[in-house]
Amino acid sequence: MSQKKNPIKLIIIVCILAAIIFGLAKSGALEYLKDRQKLETLIKSLGMWGPVAYIGLYAIVTTTCISVLPLTLAGGLIFGAVMGIIYTAIGACLGLSLAFLIARYIARKPIEEKFGKTEAFKKINEGVKNDGWFILATTRLLPVFPFGIQNYVYGLTPISFIQYSLLSTIFILPGTSVFVLLAGAVASGDMKTAVKMSITASLIFFGLTMITKLIAKKAKKNS
């Protein structure tokens, strides 16, 4: 029975992703992703719906594995440091959660066929079983595996959805905050505010570097 359902699930997910990509291309949204200034203008023109559009677009882009850096910078420029971080975190959380659910419940078989035998997947899967949340910290803070693909691969592991979704969002927040703060500093127009934001971003980046080194050392000891 399950074997009959898998092709249907695959067709459904392919159709959904194709529809999303076609819709983005047809609407010209992909062009906006390439041009940050156009993206800013578009989101600002939506007024009170701007944050909703930003969060939704961030979630969609996350599931497609396209780089979210232009969007992240746009978030800081449009909404400022605090709200930019909040909206970006919500969008990222929705996107990485959706990718996880697609891998676990809709397109598990094709994703397993593509990544199930890779060394990276084996390490992540074993890390989930042996180290629990620590493997999330390792893979989110260290460039061990591409971020977009990780979101799908974790759906193949035994990690719980709540633990994955919550901790992934927490662990990507420091790195994301650096870009949002720097963009917010540029957009502030006030020298004192810009300096404060730049210093905060620098401290976060320094702390992130130290944590990453500690995680790398621990990972080497365990390997």
How does pLDDT run across 14-70, given as a tens digit for each residue?
A: 566 556 555 555 555 555 555 667 777 778 888 888 899 999 999 999 998 888 888
Q: Would you state the pLDDT for residue 88?
A: 95
Cβ-contact 156, 108 below 8 angstroms: yes
- Sequence-ordered list of residues with C-beta below 8 angstroms from that of 198, at least 6 positions apart, any chain: 181, 182, 185
Mean pLDDT value across residues 71-86: 88
- Angle ∠(175,220,121) on CA atoms, nearest 5: 70
Place 3 in a pLDDT band, splitting at 50, 70 and 90: very low
Report phi then psi at 121, rounded to 5.
Answer: -65, -45
**Token code pair at residue 144:** 């061990």
Place 2 in a pLDDT band, splitting at 50, 70 and 90: very low
* Mean pLDDT computed over every residue of the chain: 78
Q: Would you state the pLDDT for residue 1?
A: 39
Q: How many Å apart are CA 52 and CA 70, to the nearest integer?
A: 17
Q: Would you state the pLDDT for residue 4?
A: 43
Q: How many Å apart are CA 17 and CA 28, to the nearest integer?
A: 16
- Sequence-ordered list of residues with C-beta below 8 angstroms from that of 59, at least 6 positions apart, any chain: 91, 92, 94, 95, 98
Res 9 pLDDT > 60: no
* Crossing angle of the two packed helices 119-131 and 134-141, in degrees rounded to 10: 140
Residue pLDDT, tens place only, 99-144: 999 999 988 888 888 888 887 788 888 888 887 788 888 888 776 6
Q: How many Å apart are CA 148 and CA 74, to the nearest integer?
A: 19
- Sequence-ordered list of residues with C-beta below 8 angstroms from that of 138, at least 6 positions apart, any chain: 127, 144, 215, 219
Sort residue 35 into left (φ over 0), alpha (ψ -120 to 50) or beta. Answer: beta
38-52, 87-101, 150-164, 201-215: least confident range: 201-215
Q: Would you state the pLDDT for residue 64?
A: 86
